[in-house]
């Protein structure tokens, strides 16, 4: 990661849900990561591991029974302690551009894409006047590779790929320093997945001050776009690694991360045995211990320490061989 000040700095972020009877369910525990200017961090893991809860915490969109701890600093603002007025007027759209999962479901079905785009332009940029708004909406569409001649269509008239680009256009209007893409490739075929992540990467690279946090369970998409990878399991980030290392010959070090890669069809296609634990019934030790062939009594009794690899017995990787001309 670059030495520049992070766009987003998350420290020990935890989210618990208070249930009837006073029971608390830990959905996210002690998440700790940065996202630097010009960087894409892919947060990956199976469905239900806490990825989208973390995203909702950053946006202040958790339900009323949620309790948060830790911090998530976006510049000079702690997102977790900000009030709703601040989040609505200063953060959503202006400092965090959200590209939601299933964008067609988030677009207003009874209004055209043009109407929704012009409204967003007016709200986030202050542009007024019918002609100026029309021009700004078309510029926003072109920026996201959305055909301007489709702006007068309704969401149900768009393909999955076009709905994704419409959502991207809306997310870019405020020139937010952080793009948050929550499962942006869900429901798209492989060609559209590649085109979508390439477009997102282009928007990060086009502005060296913008960062992208992409939440996904699609490892192929993560490999295509990410600079770094954070792996989440049962509410905890269990590994943080450079993408070149994670997807490279040495591979990740956490047994769960290795299992995710091994389960891919173009690898060994070996599924991880067992099922993830219920977040409301986590074991005392490592949450992955019951599924891990490297686990021992220590793993069952003690949770692993936080760090780049949260594991008592991580996979050891051999250091890269020095070039011939560098050897004594």
How high is the pLDDT of residue 3?
A: 65
How high is the pLDDT of residue 324?
A: 40
How high is the pLDDT of residue 186?
A: 81
Return the bridge partners of 180, or none.
98, 213
Alpha helices in the chain (DSSP H): 51-59, 84-86, 103-106, 113-125, 130-143, 160-172, 190-206, 219-225, 243-246, 255-262, 297-301
How high is the pLDDT of residue 319?
A: 47
How high is the pLDDT of residue 206?
A: 83
Question: Could you state, in chain order, the average pLDDT of each consecutive group of 10 residues for the chain (328 residues)?
Answer: 82 96 93 96 92 95 96 96 95 95 85 96 93 95 92 93 92 95 86 88 88 94 95 96 94 94 83 89 93 94 87 77 37
In order of their start, the domains of the chain are 8-95+176-301 (3.40.50.300), 106-175 (no CATH)
- pTM for the model stands at 0.91
């Amino acid at each position: 990661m670059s030495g520049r000040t992070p766009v987003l700095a998350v420290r020990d972020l935890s989210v618990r849900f208070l249930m009837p009877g006073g029971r608390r369910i830990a959905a996210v525990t002690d998440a700790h990561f940065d996202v630097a200017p010009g960087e894409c961090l892919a947060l990956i893991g199976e469905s239900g591991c806490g990825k989208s809860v973390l995203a909702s915490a950053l946006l202040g969109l958790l339900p009323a029974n949620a309790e948060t701890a830790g911090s998530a600093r976006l510049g000079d603002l702690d997102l977790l302690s900000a009030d709703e007025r601040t989040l609505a007027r200063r953060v959503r759209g202006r400092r965090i551009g959200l590209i939601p999962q299933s964008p067609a479901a988030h677009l207003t079905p009874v209004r055209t894409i043009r109407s929704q785009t012009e409204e967003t332009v007016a709200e986030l940029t202050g542009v007024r006047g019918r002609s100026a708004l029309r021009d700004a909406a078309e510029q926003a569409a072109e920026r996201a590779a959305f055909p301007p001649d489709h702006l007068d269509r309704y969401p149900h008239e768009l393909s999955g790929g076009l709905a994704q680009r419409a959502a991207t256009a809306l997310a870019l209007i405020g020139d937010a320093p952080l793009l948050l893409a929550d499962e942006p490739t869900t429901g798209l075929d492989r060609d559209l997945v590649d085109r979508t992540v390439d477009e997102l990467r282009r928007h990060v690279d086009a502005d060296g001050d913008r960062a992208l946090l992409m939440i996904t369970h699609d490892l192929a998409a993560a490999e295509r776009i990410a600079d770094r990878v954070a792996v989440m399991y049962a509410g905890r980030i269990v590994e943080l690694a450079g993408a070149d290392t994670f997807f490279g010959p040495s591979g990740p070090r956490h047994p769960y991360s290795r299992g995710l890669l091994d389960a891919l069809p173009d690898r060994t296609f070996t599924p991880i045995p067992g099922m993830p634990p219920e977040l409301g019934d986590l074991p005392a030790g490592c949450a992955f211990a019951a599924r891990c062939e490297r686990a021992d009594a220590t793993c069952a009794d003690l949770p692993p320490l936080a760090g780049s690899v949260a594991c008592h017995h991580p996979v050891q990787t051999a250091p890269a061989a020095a070039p011939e001309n560098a050897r004594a």
